[in-house]
Amino acid sequence: MRTVAVIGDSKGIGLALRQRLLDRGDKVIGVSRTGSQAEGNYTGLVFDAVAHPCDLSSFTNRLDGLVYCPGTIVLKPVRGVKQELVMEDFKVNAMGFLQSVQANLKLLKTAANDPSGPKPSIVGFSTVAVQTGMGFHASIAMAKGALEGLVRTMACEFAPDIRVNAIAPSLTDTPLAAGLLSSDAKREASAERHPLKRVASADEVAAMAAYLLSPDAAAMTGQILQVDNGMSAVR
């Protein structure tokens, strides 16, 4: 049985991913500030993984996967971006990811040293706004750009033992994006900006994360996968 830590599993993509992993028989350790419960082989922890490194060695002796889901959406024009916002976005999106990996690297390496199973996998979340210039995204694009650089650096350092990838969605139907999808008009306008004329669900993005955690993605590391209804590639 594979053991996967999902940091930020109480809602949105993290919640959808947790259910997918439990459904396929994985053991899940979920970490969130509010805590959560689920049926199956699940351990839910109340912990702020952004404020403090989240060492899971008291709850498992190995990790076959680690997913970092916390994120932010605060849109400001460049002229209005304050240093405090930039630093908070960096802390939540990039620094929290780094320290979560650092705190659990020994557990990931333990799984990597097991010759009977596939290599462990780390998954982070970026945004379409890093590779595709979008107005009002200065702060979050800076923070997620740092995360993408970190993903590639970790993929290099940890190869061949641990795979590291990230997913870059466009606007996704999650509680974090509720204010941007709070009316039919806003939802229609958001869908219209995508070539596929739709907004992705949390479960659709979670499906990609579940794939990256699986042995089916054994040949993938250092990749930023665009799950964005075509926004980054199609005009």
Model confidence pTM above 0.85: yes
Whether residue 90 contacts residue 146, with contact meaning beta carbons closer than 8 Å, is answered with yes
pLDDT tens digits along 4-41: 999 999 999 999 999 999 999 999 999 999 988 899 99
pLDDT tens digits along 76-95: 999 999 999 999 999 999 99
Q: How many CB atoms lie within 10 A of CB 132?
A: 16
Establish whether the linkage from the previous residue to 160 is cis, with ω within 30° of 0: yes
pLDDT tens digits along 137-163: 999 999 999 999 999 999 999 999 999
**3-227 CATH fold:** Rossmann fold (3.40.50)
Q: Count of residues for the chain?
A: 235
Q: How far apart are CA 195 and CA 157, in angstroms?
A: 36
Whether residue 147 contacts residue 91, with contact meaning beta carbons closer than 8 Å, is answered with no
Residue 235: its pLDDT value, please? 83
- Which amino acid makes up residue 4? V
Please list the alpha-helical segments (H only) found in 24-127: 83-90, 96-103, 105-112
